[in-house]
Amino acid sequence: MIIQIENLEKSFSGDCEVIRIKKFELGHNEIISMYGRSGCGKTTLLNILSGVLGGYSGSVKICGTEMKSLGERDLDLFRAKNIGYIFQNLNLLQGYTAYENLELSLQIAGVNYSRDGIMQYLEIAGLFNESGKYPSQLSLGQQQRIAVLRAVMKRPPLILADEPTSSLDSQNSAAVVDLLKKSAAEAGSALITVSHEKDVISAFDKKLNFSDINMSRGAGVLDSIEARPCLASMRKAGDAN
């Protein structure tokens, strides 16, 4: 299994429970889309899976490694090698070209690479001629395709995509989802794509309603007036989704 979750509970500021997952597993090469209402804790789960959010109870194993058992440096290394992550937007380094964004990610992960290899990926994504451009010179769709390449090029066992198409039009959205699915399959990576867009969700064979695995009573009501103090504490923690 790539992901093994048991009795995961995550709360913000004491009583505000966001996630309670009894058991969740994701196998090798498994590709799913995960959907759910805004504020139901999807991004929180991705942050826990990627190792940047701690303070939870229960067990989270990625590739058989208990995430809690890793120190910060080991966690950085583990994330660099095993997890590819695609953010909603603004996720490229602005001072680096498209090529350099990809190269830096591979360097940090300690993956062997060649210029030709990177250029081949860029060609697949239709960005061969954009390699020397900075993010500000690229369209949002092009930026997001670079972000997809950055996540998949190091061939991690797990790719997490958090609303990767939310800022794109339907044409670019379809192109990014297509690239994501194909690249993940080609790299042999498991993939969780979180989205609330019907077109994106329906593009995947396996779909998971986050509410089916998240038993938290607070989940899904973060947008309600009653839950605003809870939302505020999450935002304070930088984890508002």
Partner 1 sequence: MHSSALAVLSIAVSIAMLTAVISLREQTQSNFTRIGHGIDGVLGPKGSPLQIVLNAVYHIEETPGKIKWEYYKKVKQDPIVEIAVPFCSGHSYAGFRVNAIEEEFFSGFEYQPGKIFSFKESDGGAGRVFKENDEAVAGYEAAKALKLKLGSVFNPVCGVNAGDPVHNDVIKITGIMAPTGTPHDRAIYIPLKAFYTLSGHGGEVNAMALDEKYREISGAYIKIRRIRNGIMHPGVQDLKYNVNQSQSAQFVVPNEVLPRLFNIIGWIDSVLFIIAAAIAVMSALFLFSTLLGSINQRKRDIALIRFLGAPRRAVLGMVIGESLMISMAGLLAGLAAGHTVVYAAAIYINCETGVVFSASYVSCNEFFLVPAVISIAFLTSLVPAFNAYKIDIIKGLSHVS
User: Least distance in Å: CB of 132 to partner 1?
Assistant: 17
Among 87, 99, 121, 210, binds partner 1 (CB under 8 A): 87
Element (H, E) at 102: helix 98-109
CB contact at 8 A, 26 and 199: no
Q: Which of residues 37-66 bind partner 1 (CB under 8 A)?
A: 47, 50, 52-53
Tell me the one-letter amino acid at 110. Answer: G
**Binding-residue total with partner 1 (CB under 8 A):** 26
Q: How far apart are CA 18 and CA 1, in angstroms?
A: 25
User: Least distance in Å: CB of 93 to partner 1?
Assistant: 5
State the virtual CA torsion across 115, 122, 196, 235 in degrees, nearest 10.
40
Helix axes 140-153, 98-109, angle to 10 degrees: 20
Among 14, 73, 116, 226, binds partner 1 (CB under 8 A): 73
Q: How far apart are CA 139 and CA 196, in angstroms?
A: 22
CB contact at 8 A, 128 and 98: no
User: Least distance in Å: CB of 77 to partner 1?
Assistant: 6
Q: Which of 103, 47, 104, 81 is nearest to 156 (CA)?
A: 81
Cβ proximity to partner 1, 153 vs 184, nearer residue:
153
User: Least distance in Å: CB of 150 to partner 1?
Assistant: 8
Cβ proximity to partner 1, 93 vs 185, nearer residue:
93
Among 27, 64, 94, 114, binds partner 1 (CB under 8 A): 94
Q: Which of 141, 158, 220, 235 is nearest to 193 (CA)?
A: 158
Is position 215 an interface residue for partner 1 (rule: CB under 8 A)? Answer: no
Q: How far apart are CA 116 and CA 88, in angstroms?
A: 28
Span interacting with partner 1, options 21-29, 88-96, 166-174, 177-185, rule CB under 8 A: 88-96
Give the x-and-dash track for 98-137 against partner 1 (CB under 8 A): ------xx--xx----------------------------
Q: How far apart are CA 162 and CA 46, in angstroms?
A: 8
Span interacting with partner 1, options 61-69, 76-84, 192-200, 203-211, rule CB under 8 A: 76-84
User: Least distance in Å: CB of 203 to partner 1?
Assistant: 26
CB contact at 8 A, 81 and 109: yes
Residue numbers at the binding site for partner 1 (CB under 8 A): 47, 50, 52-53, 72-73, 76-77, 79-81, 85, 87, 90-91, 93-95, 104-105, 108-109, 237-240
